[in-house]
Amino acid sequence: MPSTMNNIAKQGDHGAAMMPVIQGVGRAAIEIAAVLRGAVFRGALGGAGSENIQGEQQQMLDVLSDEIFLEEMRSTGFICAVGSEEQEELLVIEEYSHADYLVLVDPLDGSSNLDVDGPVGTIFSIVKRKTANSERPHVSDTLQSGREVIAAGYVLYGPSLMLVCSVGDGVHGYTFNPAVARFELSHPDMRIPETGGYYSVNESNKSDWADGMGDKLIAMKAETGLGMRYVGAMVADMHRTLLKGGVFLYPADSKNTTGKLRLLYEAIPMGFVMEQAGGKAMSSGIAILDIEPEALHQRVPVYLGSNTNVDALLG
């Protein structure tokens, strides 16, 4: 009998509490995957004609995925509020505003890949509220370092539908089995290989990188001999790095002077998973999980991968 996401309940101190929430993420993933598969027939590809707080053009599927994810978080009954890339403010779930946990989410990461049928993902992080349960959840509840994270992970909408997550007791990958319509454990105890793999970066920005990262990358390539792979969707590039080894990076540059990737719902969840898988997760001169967040949509430089390769890059 294959293991399902029910086995999350047996993982570490937080598995039992996190299982229903991560199962809710799984339900959202199944629905989002179905919407993605049929989007072209519903005229649902392309821009929504609106911008998100980041000033980025929202895809129609960004908006729809955000709605689906919020609905599934509401249906768990354990989430009092959601901080989403697609929403400027914290979204309080009114009927459960007394619940213990909040979720930070990038509902559809890499959505610019959609119209070329490329892989996309959902990235999530779960934290315990700091405000009293009798109070209304506040954005300050989200501003917790990665060391406070209870659970985190991502969904990869690729040739298969995968959910990779950690509740602080290692990293485990679940693949949706269409034959029985459920996620089954396919990648138990995922560990990043210490050598090999690829470096993964949008190298076209190299001449613009801050902190001398252009020269550092050249030196790392000479030292490690790594080949390059880049999809342009963080979840896909992170997942390959986790499975094959190497390093994924998005340095600050003149266009994104504090980095492009968002701390609370991209860097921290991916950093949590990477550290749980035995890898390293750095920003500029500090571990991602040690950064004290200051704003819901704060951006940071990101360097994720095996210790050998991140050290070769950052020294």
Please tell me whether residue 12 binds ligand P6P under the rule CB under 6 A.
Answer: no
In the shown chain, the binding pattern of residues 235 to 264 toward ligand P6P, with x for contact by CB under 6 A and - for none, equals --x------------x---------x----
Q: Which of 6, 50, 112, 133 binds ligand P6P (CB under 6 A)?
A: 112
Q: How far is the CB of 31 from ligand P6P (least distance, A)?
A: 21
Judged by CB under 6 A, the chain residues 160 through 199 that form the site for ligand P6P are: none
Binding segment for ligand P6P among 7-15, 19-27, 125-133, 230-238 (CB under 6 A)?
230-238
Q: How far is the CB of 106 from ligand P6P (least distance, A)?
A: 7
Please tell me whether residue 232 binds ligand P6P under the rule CB under 6 A.
Answer: yes
27, two tokens: 């339900």
Residue 206, judged by CB atoms within 10 A of its CB (0-12, 13-18, 19+), counts as middle
Nearer to ligand P6P, 110 or 137 (CB): 110
Q: Which of 28, 164, 192, 234 binds ligand P6P (CB under 6 A)?
A: 234
Strand 198-200 to strand 227-228: parallel, antiparallel, or no bridges (unpaired)?
parallel
Q: Which amino acid is at 131?
A: T
Nearer to ligand P6P, 93 or 313 (CB): 313
Nearer to ligand P6P, 25 or 261 (CB): 261
In the shown chain, the binding pattern of residues 29 to 68 toward ligand P6P, with x for contact by CB under 6 A and - for none, equals ----------------------------------------
Q: How far is the CB of 181 from ligand P6P (least distance, A)?
A: 28
DSSP-assigned beta bridge partners for residue 247: 199, 305
Q: How far is the CB of 78 from ligand P6P (least distance, A)?
A: 27
Measured CA to CA, the distance from residue 7 to residue 22 in angstroms comes to: 11
Nearest to 185 by CA among 175, 171, 197: 175
Nearer to ligand P6P, 109 or 275 (CB): 109
DSSP state of 254: S
Q: In 3-state terms, what secondary structure has residue 157?
A: strand
Is 227 within 8 Å of 257 (Cβ atoms)? no
Q: How far is the CB of 2 from ligand P6P (least distance, A)?
A: 30
Nearer to ligand P6P, 88 or 223 (CB): 88
Nearest to 253 by CA among 288, 290, 300, 292: 300
Which residues, in sequence order, are CB contacts of 132 under 8 Å at separation 6+? none
Which residues, in sequence order, are CB contacts of 199 under 8 Å at separation 6+? 217, 220, 221, 224, 226, 227, 228, 246, 247, 248, 249, 309, 313
How many other β-carbons are positioned within 10 Å of the β-carbon of residue 128? 14
Please tell me whether residue 110 binds ligand P6P under the rule CB under 6 A.
Answer: yes
Q: How far is the CB of 152 from ligand P6P (least distance, A)?
A: 16
Please tell me whether residue 202 binds ligand P6P under the rule CB under 6 A.
Answer: yes
Phi, psi of 250 (to 5 degrees): -135, 90
CB burial string 130-159: b at 16+ within 10 A, e below? eeeeeeebeeebbbbbbeebbbbbbbbbbe
Q: How far is the CB of 42 from ligand P6P (least distance, A)?
A: 23
Nearer to ligand P6P, 112 or 195 (CB): 112
Please tell me whether residue 86 binds ligand P6P under the rule CB under 6 A.
Answer: no
Phi, psi of 52 (to 5 degrees): -90, 180
Nearer to ligand P6P, 101 or 209 (CB): 209
Binding site residues, ligand P6P, CB under 6 A? 109-110, 112, 202, 232-234, 237, 250, 260
